[in-house]
Amino acid sequence: MAVLPIREYPEAVLRRKADPVTALDAELQRLIDDMIETMYAAPGIGLAAPQVGVPLQVFVVDVSGGKDPNALMVFINPQIVSATGRVREEEGCLSVPGVYGPTPRAARVTLRGSNRAGEVVEVEAEGLLARAFQHEVDHLHGRLFFDRMGLMGRDLIKRRFRRLKRQQERR
């Protein structure tokens, strides 16, 4: 397994709609293993394939941050099949490091997709897991968390991120 470089805004792969997975082959299994390793190393609670430069509809999520071995989930070609309620909470992204903002999301979602064995699974979620599912599905559609904010919120996040990057470059 390898830790892959995480692509950062404004890289084009983050804005492209990911392609459906058509083969559950050894290459895909290796990508999933590498994504899991990368997510834990970051550290993060979710990672979509476009974030490591691969435009495929795959994501991994573990809201326990690796503390609960049963919390790790892999989704291939996922779809949100229902979403109810509204919440607005602080959210960040490994592809926009160091910047957070209040992001509106559904309070509860049902996600359907395949696991890494190719079995169709459906998971109902609320709280942090529901937010993580929506965040990662957005990545598969070329959207970032700040795209869900109003114009002022989006601009504020982008300015903060650019300022942070300039400060890092000066070091």
Nearest to 52 by CA among 105, 104, 11: 11
What is the b/e burial string over 134-162, where b = at least 16 CB atoms within 10 angstroms of the residue's CB? bbbbbbbebbbbbebbeeeebeebbebbe
Q: How many Å apart are CA 127 and CA 87, to the nearest integer?
A: 9
Q: How many Å apart are CA 121 and CA 133, to the nearest integer?
A: 14
136 is annotated as an active-site residue: yes
Q: Which of 27, 122, 124, 136 is catalytic?
A: 136
Instruction: Name, in order, each residue with C-beta under 8 angstroms of 119's C-beta and a sequence gap of 6 or more.
Output: none
Contact 59, 49 (CB under 8 A): yes
Tokens 């892959």: give the residue. Answer: 4
Nearest to 93 by CA among 56, 147, 55: 147
Report CA-CA distances (Å) from 105 to 57, 89, 126, 135. 20, 8, 11, 9
Q: Which residues are the active-site residues?
A: 136
